[in-house]
A and B are shown apart, each in its own frame.
Chain A
Amino acid sequence: MTARTLILIEHDRREVKRPSLHAITAARQLGGDFALLLLGQGLDEMAGSLVSYGASTVLVADGEALAEPLADRYAAVIAQAAQKLGATTLLANSSTFSKDILPRAAALLDAPMLTDVVAIEEKDGATTYQRPVSAGSMLATVQLAGEKRVLIVRASAFDAPASDSAASPIERLEFDGAVLPNGTQFVSREETVSDRPDLTEARVVIGGGRPLKDKESFDRLVVGLADLLGGAVGATRAAVDTGLAPNDCQIGQTGKVIAPDLYIALGISGAIQHLAGIKDSRVIVAINKDPEAPIFQIATYGLVGDVHQIVPKLIEALRSN
């Protein structure tokens, strides 16, 4: 059993996380065969859902010792799996899970590593990688030395893989729980219910201001548009103050600084405190009824009009697209 690339698949103990499958597309682009690796406890059903992606094998490291994703244990098992397969590339989708574990595995494998890769290019036999740096304000082109590499790719830059291949074999990866590192104990987990992306990492952010007036309008227009685009929800201080949005949604000088590809500002006039938090956004769309609002000075696209009338139309137009 061998594979050139080993892909770490993430799950939430019930099902596989869809974005983590996008790494398969990156692996196909890199060429060669690839194996998928699942770690955890009670994984049979999830492993079954991974057999149609064309992997040479679906490796399952299943056991009580791996019930919780503790970096020291997971990295040890991943390194062991890579060595067993003779894999030279270790791959995963970008998340706090992969960022916690893969750099540690890279050190164990003595391999260079790149996080948040958004493009892979082959040119004259050499492979280059593109990744955003400086909070997304710059794009770096990077080269790696040697055969081995560990890559974390952004799901947003690689398509979801086709699920139409002949069934891959499922294999258990044997490991000795007793020799795994034992210095870390899991205590508890508190999950926030929202399945929207984190504000500071989201590719799309929809921000709402005070003119949305009430919670109902905010939820319908701002949250509605965010859910439609798979984006995160942000708000101005004034909107947070009046209870339209929770505290951790606040963008700006005293809130979060964001750098998404697309920021849509709904009913936001553009006070400087707010602008300080959004200036690194790649594309800014502003919808505001005041044509003099400062937000239009920095918006890529400005549309003058009442958010209560325009946003429903926008949601409609995006739905039908």
Chain B
Amino acid sequence: MSSPLAKILVAFKSVPDPYAGGGEAKSVVNPFDEIAIEEALRMRERGEATEIVGVTIGPAAVDEQVRAALAMGVDRAIRIDDARALDPYAVARILRALVEKEAPQLVLMGKQAVDDDSNQAGQMLAGLLGWPQATFISKIELLDGGARARCTRETDTGLEVIELQLPAIVTSDLRLNEPRYVSLPGLMKARKKAIEVLSCEQLGVTVQPLTSVLSTTRPPRRSAGARVESVEELVRKLKEEAKVL
């Protein structure tokens, strides 16, 4: 006997395409968040959830990624309009306000965004809300008619299984699933769906980022194709030139 969760909130971020390999990268939904969206959709398809609400924070330019989430199958999408470079803690505080407004039974998001690789927002949100959390999950199943969730976490040393009292925050790892592909007509259909735009004022939250990125530099690129003639030369170059030993 199980009753589906009434609402799952999935938070996602727009990031530069990590597969672009430099150059003019288009923005995409953060791959880990895409996995979170996929899991929420699969839970709905399994009859474990009723409504999937997607949320992101950013300027109007990220609407394209909001539509990608809608095209994947998110029922409703919210963009919190804020063009600033926010740190994870600011994001967590904004999301707390939205969670209080939306009252979902479960919040899903990626374990980290592949642009800043911070790996913080989900845990911070859980801390702010005082909700249970499961990070780096590779599996989730609902128990007791949706009162609890059993999660398998991927840790440095292997796998760990924990059970959470819902509502809770869960962050996805790579092996949770393989997200579905969104085709062009799917995207075009999603263009017709409304995106709910909210401001921080409307949510009643004021945040000031506490971290600021001063600069980003590309580590020196490897010089392609240098041949070495001997093991000795290789070891010397790795020590003295590349400094990796």
Interface string of B13-28 (1 = CB under 8 A from A): 0001010011000000
Asked whether any CB of chain A lies closer than 8 Å to the CB of B34, the reply is no
Is the Cβ of B219 less than 8 Å from the Cβ of A138? yes
In the complex, how many angstroms separate the beta carbon of B49 from the nearest chain A beta carbon?
20
Task: Tell me if B's interface is mostly helix, strand, loop or mixed.
Answer: mixed
Task: Tell me if A's interface is mostly helix, strand, loop or mixed.
Answer: mixed
Report A281-298 residues with CB < 8 Å from chain B CB. 282-285, 296-298
Asked whether any CB of chain B lies closer than 8 Å to the CB of A165, the reply is no
Which of B121, B162, B210, B239 is A184 in contact with, Cβ under 8 Å? B162
Per the bound structure, the CA–CA distance linking A262 and B16 in Å amounts to 25
Specify the chain B residue showing the minimal Cβ separation from A282: B219
Asked whether any CB of chain B lies closer than 8 Å to the CB of A100, the reply is yes
Interface string of B158-173 (1 = CB under 8 A from A): 1111111100100000
Contacts A134-B115, A189-B158, A284-B222; is A184 near B132 (CB within 8 Å)? yes
Asked whether any CB of chain A lies closer than 8 Å to the CB of B89, the reply is yes
Is the Cβ of A99 less than 8 Å from the Cβ of B119? yes
Is the Cβ of B162 less than 8 Å from the Cβ of A190? no
CB contacts (< 8 Å) of A140 on chain B: these are 116, 213, 215-216
Which of A72, A141, A283, A302 is B238 in contact with, Cβ under 8 Å? A283
Is the Cβ of A192 less than 8 Å from the Cβ of B158? yes
Asked whether any CB of chain B lies closer than 8 Å to the CB of A178, the reply is no
Specify the chain A residue showing the minimal Cβ separation from B127: A107
Specify the chain B residue showing the minimal Cβ separation from A283: B242
Is the Cβ of A143 less than 8 Å from the Cβ of B214? yes
Place the interface of chain B in its size category. 35 or more
CB contacts (< 8 Å) of B56 on chain A: these are none
CB contacts (< 8 Å) of A172 on chain B: these are none
User: Which of B135, B156, B228, B230 is the most central at the interface, judged by chain A CB atoms within 10 Å of its CB?
Assistant: B156
Contacts A142-B211, A142-B214, A301-B237; is A189 near B119 (CB within 8 Å)? no
Per the bound structure, the CA–CA distance linking A313 and B92 in Å amounts to 52
Report B196-236 residues with CB < 8 Å from chain A CB. 208, 210-219, 222-232, 234-235
Is the Cβ of B242 less than 8 Å from the Cβ of A296? no
Asked whether any CB of chain A lies closer than 8 Å to the CB of B245, the reply is yes
Per the bound structure, the CA–CA distance linking A135 and B216 in Å amounts to 13
Asked whether any CB of chain A lies closer than 8 Å to the CB of B133, the reply is yes
Which of A96, A136, A302 is B227 in contact with, Cβ under 8 Å? A302
- A sample of 18 inter-chain contacts (CB < 8 A) reads A71-B126, A97-B156, A104-B126, A104-B127, A107-B89, A111-B210, A135-B114, A181-B130, A190-B160, A191-B157, A282-B219, A283-B222, A283-B238, A297-B224, A300-B224, A301-B237, A303-B228, A310-B231
Hey, which bits of chain A sit against chain B, CB under 8 A? 12, 70-72, 75, 95-97, 99-108, 111-116, 128, 131-146, 181-192, 197-198, 204, 229, 261-262, 279, 282-285, 296-304, 310, 313-314, 317-318, 321
Given pairs A128-B214, A198-B156, 16 additional interface contacts (CB within 8 A): A96-B156, A99-B119, A106-B124, A106-B127, A107-B125, A107-B128, A115-B118, A136-B219, A183-B165, A184-B134, A185-B162, A192-B157, A296-B227, A300-B223, A300-B226, A303-B231
Hey, which bits of chain B sit against chain A, CB under 8 A? 16, 18, 21-22, 87-89, 92, 114-128, 130-136, 150, 153-165, 168, 208, 210-219, 222-232, 234-235, 237-239, 242, 244-245
